[in-house]
Chains A and B, each alone.
Chain A
């Protein structure tokens, strides 16, 4: 199999602060990583596709200036929620593509007070 980690697993922050979430592929290189968001009792929604060495592709309705994605290496993608507000509280999950499969991280629960 392939392992994807996320850090932190949970974070609580004050409104207006920025939060960075890391997604790492531990035993493989991933040219493409994906970021998803899941609100309570809802399914996962793709936020953006992160490609190593190039700009991320954002889904419609996702603010690229608010959700900054950096994929600087083949094993690391970061999502920074800038000026977080309570409505950004959610479960954020990343995945990394390996061949014809995606492998998912354990998720990060963000709570903005």
Chain B
């Protein structure tokens, strides 16, 4: 059964720092991996989608990498801003594209 973990569970940094959020999964046979942002009491905002054949995706200040063999993905946030404060979730689809498993999330606070 696929399990997804994320470290750290929470992170508080001053504005302007570069950040790395980590995601690990136990079964490397994945269809894709997706990073989301969730604001308190809100739904999900998709940030980056990495297909199983890809190694990284970039969007603005965000860069996500994927290493299937080691079961890891990282989300890199450059020059963090207070508006980046949210919970960041990673999720993986199994190889059949049927089961989407979420990690517990990393709660990020960027202090002005």
B-binding residues in A (CB < 8 A): 34, 36, 42-46, 49, 91, 93, 95, 97, 100-107, 109
B43 in complex: contacting residue of A34, A102, A105, CB < 8 Å: A105
> Smallest CB-CB separation from B104: which chain A residue?
A43
Question: What does DSSP make chain B's interface, helix, strand, loop or mixed?
Answer: strand
* Cβ-closest chain A residue relative to B97: A100
B49 cross-chain contacts in A, Cβ below 8 A? 100-101
Closest Cβ–Cβ distance, residue A16 to chain B (whole Å): 26
Tell me whether A44 and B102 are in contact (CB under 8 A).
Answer: yes
The reply to whether the CB of B100 lies closer than 8 angstroms to some CB of chain A is yes
Is the beta-carbon distance between A49 and B98 smaller than 8 angstroms? yes
Which residue in chain B gives the minimum CB-CB distance to A4? B43
By beta carbon, the residue of chain B nearest A100 is B32
In the complex, chain B residues 32-61 whose Cβ is within 8 Å of any chain A Cβ: 32, 34, 36, 41-44, 46, 49, 51
Contact of A104 among B31, B46, B98, B103 (CB under 8 A): B46
